[in-house]
Amino acid sequence: MNDRLNQTEARVAAPKTSANPGSTRWVGKAIALAVIVAVAATAYHMHGSSSAPAAAPPPPPVAVSAPLQRDIESRLGFLGQFSAVNRVELRAQVGGTLTQIHFKDGDVVHKGDPLFEIDSEPYQIKLSEATAQLESAKARLALATRELARAQELQRSDAGTVQNVDQKVAEQHAAQAAVDNANALVRDAKFDLDRCVIKAPFTGRMGTHLVSTGNLVSGSRAGSSPTTLLATIVSLDPIYLDFDISENDYATFQQARVGQKGPLADKVTLSPTGDGSFSREGVLNFVDNSLDRSSGTIHARATVPNGDLSLTPGGFARVRLAVSTPRPALLVPDAAVLADQTDHMVFVIGPDDVATPKKVEIGDLRGGLRVITSGLSNSDKVIIDGIPTVHPGAKVSPHAGKIEFSSEHASEAGKS
């Protein structure tokens, strides 16, 4: 293009020496016209081929499937915390020097296992004294019995008096009372001696020992006077799971119980922290008698078997409480459900393969899928893959997809 301009300028440059003003103006116009023609020709040559209209892109491919239909029960979900069925503070019933500790902190012990020992020598001495008193009382009773028999024999032969017999009867009764008192003293001394060994009241896990060997501990049978706390023990099997139910959920729970003939509403499933599924079961055994006015909840408790001792008091678990028998429900992948402000929708394939949004009501997750409570029919073709490329009213290229129900995981929660 530059060569053409240079040649044109060379051809029109010669008349420039003319003194005729009209010819000068004609030359300027010729130069401008030549430049415009050259530029237009070049532009046409460079861009003429791109003026053709662009071809429309093909419809985006998407996977479609009818909703999966399964029998699903209605349920409520809560967060609970484990607690021990039994928790005991171990205290001595007798005082003395602590001589032995038979467990390690955190050990699981069984009912009747010895845990602590207190110096028993003072109580053995007390038992020996009581035993000696018992023997003495028995000897006096034997003598009083023989004397009573002789007095009665003399009375029958008119050699003795009634007064003498009455006296011997009284002596024999007093001797018998002394024997009974001595027996009580022996039992009392034996009771104290036996309490020198503190045993596990049930099978459970020990806490840390709070008193070391050699310390002097105080004890009391009734616990009225200050006593020394030695350790604590908690039971492990079964274990309680405590949780709170909101007022609305409690109303749903109460309605589910009306007319129920079986224990459906009392069965719970739970997923402890760190567990990947709701594989454990328990039984709801307590619901409080009033709502907490400050929180608007009511306390409930379930009993859970813990034979493997893997559940620990204080730990947390998520709880599911079934409130209806299984009923047919429709499920779709959770990724196929889109949030639209406060509503939810899915894309379905309409006539001529056009994507149409459809408003739905959702439930919780089951088997990795979202429960659709209303808004869909089992004949709808739902877009389950390729959703980012779909626009309402746009044409798509559908192909068959598959919805699979997998095992439930702990990550499945309620409505999102």
Is the domain of 228 the same as that of 285? no
Which one of 307, 322, 337 terminates a domain? 322
Residues 181 and 249 in one domain: no
Per-residue pLDDT of the chain in tens (416 residues, 90 and over written 9)? 445 434 444 444 444 444 444 444 544 554 555 555 455 555 555 554 444 456 678 888 989 998 988 888 777 888 999 999 999 999 999 999 999 999 999 999 999 999 999 999 999 999 999 999 999 999 998 988 888 888 888 877 877 687 888 888 898 899 999 999 999 999 999 999 999 999 999 999 999 999 999 999 998 887 677 889 999 999 999 999 999 999 888 888 887 776 555 544 578 888 888 776 788 889 888 889 899 889 899 999 999 999 888 888 999 999 888 777 778 888 899 888 998 778 899 999 988 888 889 999 888 787 788 888 888 888 889 998 988 888 888 888 888 888 888 765 434 544 43
What Å distances lie between residue 127 and 119, 177, 214, 219, 260, CA to CA? Answer: 14, 19, 24, 18, 61
Closest to 271 measured CA to CA, from 320, 316, 317, 307: 317
Measure the CA–CA gap between 403 and 416, rounded to whole angstroms. 20
Considering the domain architecture, whether residues 253 and 350 belong to the same structural domain is answered as: no
Instruction: Tell me: do 228 and 138 sit in the same domain.
Output: yes
d(CA 388, CA 355): 12
Residue 347 belongs to domain with CATH number: 2.40.420.20
Q: Please report whether residue 55 resides in a domain.
A: no
* Assigned domain for 37 exists: yes
The reply to whether 257 falls in a domain is yes
- Domain holding 130: CATH number? 1.20.120
Q: Which domain holds residue 369?
A: 62-71+328-400
Domain boundary among 322, 346, 375: 322
On whether residue 387 sits in a domain, the answer given is yes
pLDDT value at residue 248: 87
What letters, b where the CB count within 10 A reaches 16 and e where it falls short, cover 203-222? bbbbbebebeeeeebebeee
pLDDT of residue 301: 93
pTM above 0.85, yes or no: no
Domain presence at residue 414: no
Type of residue found at 91: R
Report the pLDDT value the prediction gives residue 121, as an integer from 0 to 100: 92
Pair 217, 273 in one domain:
no
Q: What is the CATH number of the domain that holds 271?
A: 2.40.30.170
Answer yes or no: do 99 and 230 share one domain.
Answer: yes
Which of residues 169, 201, 235 is at a domain's end?
235
* Same domain, residue pair 102 and 148: yes
The confidence score (pLDDT) of residue 189 equals 93
358 assigned to some structural domain: yes
Domain identity same for 33 and 67:
no
- Considering the domain boundaries, does residue 31 fall inside one? yes
| Domains contained in the chain, number | 4
User: What residues are paired with 369 via a beta bridge?
Assistant: 333, 366
343 and 282 assigned to the same domain: no
Residues 66 and 198 in one domain: no
Structural domain includes residue 219: yes
Torsional class of 301: left (φ above 0), alpha (ψ -120 to 50), beta (otherwise): beta
Per-residue DSSP letter, 218: -
Q: 29 with 114, same domain?
A: no
Q: What is the pLDDT of residue 22?
A: 46
Q: Identify whether residues 153 and 228 lie together within a single domain.
A: yes
Q: What per-residue confidence (pLDDT) applies to 29?
A: 52
